[in-house]
Amino acid sequence: MSGKGGYDLVVVANRLPVDVTVGDDGDIAWKRSPGGLVTALEPVMQGADGAWVGWSGAPDIEAEPFDADDMRLVPVSLSADDVERYYEGFSNDTLWPLYHDVISPPTYHRTWWDAYRRVNQRFADAAAAQAAEGAIVWVHDYQLQLVPRMLRELRPDLRIGFFNHIPFPPLELFQQLPWRRQVVDGLLGADLIGFQRAGDASNFVRAVRRLTDYTTRGPIISTTGPDGKPGRHVRAAAFPISIDSRRFDELARTPEVQARAREIRSDLGDPEIMMLGVDRLDYTKGIRHRIKAYGELLQDGRLDVEHATLVQVASPSRENVDAYAELREHVEGLVGRINGEYAEIGHAAIHYLHHSYPPEEMAALYLAADVMLVTSLRDGMNLVAKEYVAARSDDRGALVLSEFTGAADELSSGALLVNPHDIDGMKDIIVAAAHLDGREQRKRMRRLRRKVLNDDVARWSQSFLGVLTAMPPRTDHV
C-alpha cells in the first residue's frame, strides 16, 4: 500500500478473482473463481502494490476488504435486485447481444439502465476510496462502462484506463442503445481505452464523432472542458489480450497431464481423430453451427463414428437469462438427435460435457485433441484458441478458427480460418483439418506457438499500462 493511504494500482472488474462466502460467525471463506479475466489479470496483480475491486459473485454479501493470493480484494455488494437488473438484465440481456452483432435481440428496459448506473457508481466509489494520490486505475469490461467518468469526477488526480474485453459494435448497431451518449461519455472519462481489435477501436471513434462534438485525429479524441476550453486527450487503441501461455506449455509437458491425455483417448475408444470444442454455453460461440456441420459430415459419410468423435465441453453460463436456457435446450436436443442416429455401441458421435474443468484437465484435453474447433459467430478474442496452441508442446494438432474472433487477427498464419455461417465451407475445413499430415501440422503449429508464447498476458498488461503511464499529463478539465 502507498504511504499516502491508498494503492498505486487499482483494478476494477465486475467480479473478484475469487468466490466469497461469509460464515455464520462472520468469517470470510474464498476459493479461486474461473474466467478469462481472472486468468489474464492475476499475474499482473500478484506481487504488485495493488487492489482489486469487484463483486463476490453472490447476492447480499457484505464483506470488508481482505487479502488473498497476494492481492488486496475489495468486495462490492450487490443485492438480488442488482444482480437481476444490472448483471443479468442490462449487462447480459442488453449490452452483450447488442455488442455481439445482435445474434440474439437485445432488450431495453429503463429500470435495468437505472440499476446499471447505480451499480457503476458503487464501483467508482469503491475504487476512489482505494486509490493513492495519482494512482493508476484500470477498469475492465462492458459491465462498468460508466465507471471511468464517475471516477474522474470523484478523483481527477487519477490516471484511468479502460479495457473492453468484448467487441465494440459498429455505429449502426450501437445507435440502437437508448443510452448511447451516456455510455460514450462514461468511457471518455478514461485516458486510455483499449479494445481487442483495431476495428473495435475504430467503431468507438466513429461513435464519438457521430454522438459528440469532440474532434478526433486517428486514435486520439480531444475533449473539451465544461467552460469550452480544450480538455484531455483520450486514446482509443487495440491491445489484443492473451493468456499465461508458459503455464499451459509447462502443464502439457508434465508426465501427469500427458498420461491423462492418453487416458482420455483410451476412454473414447482410441479414435483416429478426436475433435474438441471448449466454450461457455453462449449463443455467440457458434456451438449449434459446429454441431450441425459435424452431424452433416456423419450423414454425408465423410466422417464416421468408428474413426472420429467430437468432445464438446460447454460450461454453464448465465442460466437465469432466457436466451441461454433456450440455447442449452436446443444444443442438448441436437446432440441427442445426432447420437441417436449415428452412435454405435462403444462409439458415441458426440461426447457432450456440461461442466467446467480445472486447468490440468483442460491441458490434457487440448493435448489429446487432433483438431480444435473454435467457431464463434462473434468473439472479442477467444482465449481457448490460444490455450490449445500453448498446450501443444508436441507441435501437433490443428486449429480451426472462426474469422470472427479477435484471435483470427493474430493466428491466421497457422490456423485454418472458417466462416461459421457457411456450413458447407466449414465442413470442408473440418475434414481438411482432420486429415492434415504431420509435416503440415508441425509447420502450422510452430508458427502459432511462436506467436502465443511470445505475446503472453504479461506482455499485454505491460503494453497497456506502459502506454497509459506514458500518456501526457491531463489538464485541469475533467
Note whether 119 and 258 are same-domain residues. no
- Each residue of 239-250: b (16+ CB within 10 Å) or e? bbbbbbbebbbe
Number of independent structural domains in the chain: 2
Residue 466's domain comprises 7-241+459-470
Note whether 220 and 132 are same-domain residues. yes
Note whether 433 and 465 are same-domain residues. no
Note whether 214 and 311 are same-domain residues. no
CB 236 within 8 A of CB 221: yes
Q: Which residues pair with 217 in a beta bridge?
A: 220
Instruction: Tell me whether residue 310 is in a domain.
Output: yes
Among 189, 187, 142, 137, CA closest to 164: 142
pLDDT of 474 higher than 60:
no
pLDDT of 3 higher than 50:
no
Note whether 343 and 426 are same-domain residues. yes
Q: What angle in degrees, to the nearest 10, is found between the helix axes of 423-434 and 287-300? A: 70
Instruction: Tell me whether residue 478 is in a domain.
Output: no
pTM: 0.94
Instruction: Tell me whether residue 1 is in a domain.
Output: no
Angstrom distance (rounded) from CA 143 to CA 234: 20
Per the document, the length of the chain is: 478
pLDDT digits (tens, 9 = 90+) for 217-237: 999 999 987 777 888 999 999
Q: Which helix (H) or strand (E) holds 440?
A: helix 438-454
Note whether 159 and 267 are same-domain residues. no
Per DSSP bridges, beta strands 230-238 and 220-224 are: antiparallel
Instruction: Tell me whether residue 166 is in a domain.
Output: yes
Note whether 263 and 360 are same-domain residues. yes
pLDDT of 477 higher than 60:
no
Q: Give the pLDDT of residue 2.
A: 41
CB 287 within 8 A of CB 281: yes
- Mean residue pLDDT across the chain: 93
Instruction: Tell me whether residue 162 is in a domain.
Output: yes
Instruction: Tell me whether residue 357 is in a domain.
Output: yes
Note whether 209 and 288 are same-domain residues. no
pLDDT digits (tens, 9 = 90+) for 235-260: 999 999 999 899 899 999 999 999 99
CB-neighbour burial class of residue 439 (10 A; exposed 0-12, middle 13-18, buried 19+): exposed
pLDDT digits (tens, 9 = 90+) for 321-331: 788 889 999 99
pLDDT of 4 higher than 60:
no
High-pLDDT (> 90) share of the chain, %: 81
Note whether 94 and 202 are same-domain residues. yes
Grid cell listed for 234: 483520450
DSSP 353-400: E-S---HHHHHHHHHH-SEEEE--SSBS--HHHHHHHHH-TTS--EEE
The average pLDDT across 78-104 equals 96
Instruction: Tell me whether residue 174 is in a domain.
Output: yes
Instruction: Tell me whether residue 477 is in a domain.
Output: no
pLDDT of 96 higher than 50:
yes
The average pLDDT across 50-69 equals 89
pLDDT of 475 higher than 60:
no
Note whether 110 and 201 are same-domain residues. yes
pLDDT of 1 higher than 70:
no
The average pLDDT across 178-203 equals 98
Q: Give the pLDDT of residue 33.
A: 72
Which residues of 16-119 form beta strands (DSSP E)?
18-22, 28-32, 50-55, 66-68, 71-76
Note whether 255 and 187 are same-domain residues. no
Q: Give the pLDDT of residue 34.
A: 58
The average pLDDT across 166-194 equals 98
More confident residue, 34 or 456: 456
Q: What is the CATH number of the domain that holds 448?
A: 3.40.50.2000
pLDDT digits (tens, 9 = 90+) for 232-241: 999 999 999 9
The average pLDDT across 80-89 equals 96
Poorest-confidence range of 173-182, 437-446, 450-459? 450-459
Note whether 192 and 267 are same-domain residues. no
Residues 18, 75, 187, 286, CA torsion sign: positive
